[in-house]
Amino acid sequence: MLVHKIDEVKSKIREWKKEGLKIGLVPTMGALHAGHASLIKKAVETCDKVVVSVFVNPIQFCPGEDYAEYPRTLDEDVKLAEGIGADLVFAPSPDEMYGKGQRLSNDTLAYIVPPFFYVDKLCGKSRVGHFDGVCTVVGKLFNITQADCAFFGQKDAQQLVIIKKFVKDLNFNVEIIPCPIVREESGLALSSRNKYLTEDGKKEALVLSKILNNIKACYDKGITDVNALKETAFSFLTEKHDMEYLEFVDKDDLEDKTTADDNTLVLIACRVEGVRLIDNIILGK
Ligand code: AMP
């Protein structure tokens, strides 16, 4: 069932809660692909009722980013989500989420702001305010759906750590379930933004997973010095790749690492054909 209004979701949730059902939430921005599908599948397996939200959240886009162009494919999304067994697709408008005529700024809206330490690095460095927008919308979705469990992809590793942090710090009553990265056979991590790439661009985009896999192979051979591991990336890069960062941090608290270990999360962001792509790997896996 597709609904657009918060009140419709709330009344469905009240019914389900009365029956003592376990509710799962899968927050998405739509343009659903097999990565999203894996989250929905896991939710359907784990919970009695599953809500998939489809919302291109304006407050998590920075000026100059792709908010207007972001792919919107609601009809297909509903088919995919319901095909897997989702019970409700919640697709609100920005006005529904933030109030009509609301100026979407932190002057006018109460925000969930994660600690500076968690956002002043990796994607947060170039996407200032992005994680405030993510946490705020995710917090609202937790309250609207009263979800017992919420499913997030390891693909957005920094987002996952930050969401776990605010859920713990603010005592939200929801269990966060991480789900592994789904990739194309080539190794390319699925992303709604892959739609912006040409066929040639998709080949060039393999540089992210190649760099990460090579770092993992070097680590498995015994190299643990982070600078040495970082240097292995350069042989993969050409003028077609505009690397934003390659960082080694602790997978649970994003603390920088100088020596790699099994808990090290290696994250990469790189532009290909102007499209900003991210990927990551945990060395101990
Ligand atoms: P998005 O629609 O990009 O905001 O993503 C919604 C959720 O799907 C987030 O929890 C993402 O981490 C997750 N996700 C996106 N791509 C993948 C992928 N390739 N594998 C697993 N999860 C993913």
**Which atom belonging to ligand 1 lies closest to the Cα atom of 29?**
2
Model confidence at 106: pLDDT above 80: no
Interval between CA 155 and ligand 1 midpoint (Å): 6
Q: Which of 33, 38, 39, 138 to mutate to test the pocket of ligand 1 (most atoms within 8 A of CB)?
A: 39
Residue span(s) of the chain under CATH 3.30.1300.10 come to: 192-279
Minimum CA distance residue for ligand 1 atom 11? 153
Mean per-residue pLDDT of the chain: 97
Residue span(s) of the chain under CATH 3.40.50.620 come to: 2-179
Per-residue pLDDT, 100: 80
Burial group, residue 229, by CB count within 10 angstroms (0-12, 13-18, 19+): buried
Whether the predicted model's global pTM rises above the 0.95 cut: yes
Interval between CA 26 and ligand 1 midpoint (Å): 9
Whether the CB of 35 sits within 6 Å of ligand 1: yes
Whether the CB of 39 sits within 6 Å of ligand 1: yes
Model confidence at 227: pLDDT above 80: yes
The two three-digit tokens of residue 261, written as one number: 């270990």
- 2-179: CATH class: alpha beta
Which tens digits make up the pLDDT trace of 38-83?
999 999 999 999 999 999 999 999 999 999 999 999 999 999 999 9
Confidence of residue 104 (pLDDT cuts 50, 70, 90): confident
Model confidence at 89: pLDDT above 80: yes
Q: DSSP secondary structure string, 60-80?
A: GSPTTSSTTTS---HHHHHHH
CA distances from 241 to 207, 234, 250 (A): 8, 11, 26
Interval between CA 261 and ligand 1 midpoint (Å): 26
By residue count, the chain amounts to 285
Q: Is the dihedral of CA 19, 83, 34, 57 positive or negative?
A: negative
Other CB atoms within a 10 A radius of the CB of residue 34 amount to 12
Average pLDDT over residues 212-225: 98
Model confidence at 105: pLDDT above 80: no
Active-site residue 33, yes or no? no
**149-153 vs 175-179, strand pairing mode:** parallel
Which tens digits make up the pLDDT trace of 135-166?
999 999 999 999 999 999 999 999 999 999 99
Residues 6+ apart with CB under 8 A from 244: 126, 269, 270, 271, 276
Whether the CB of 179 sits within 6 Å of ligand 1: yes
Which CATH superfamily hosts domain 192-279? Pantoate-beta-alanine ligase, C-terminal domain (3.30.1300.10)
User: Helical H runs in the chain?
Assistant: 6-18, 34-46, 74-84, 94-98, 116-119, 123-126, 130-145, 157-169, 199-204, 206-220, 226-231
Which tens digits make up the pLDDT trace of 232-259?
999 999 999 999 999 999 999 999 999 9
Per-residue pLDDT, 108: 82
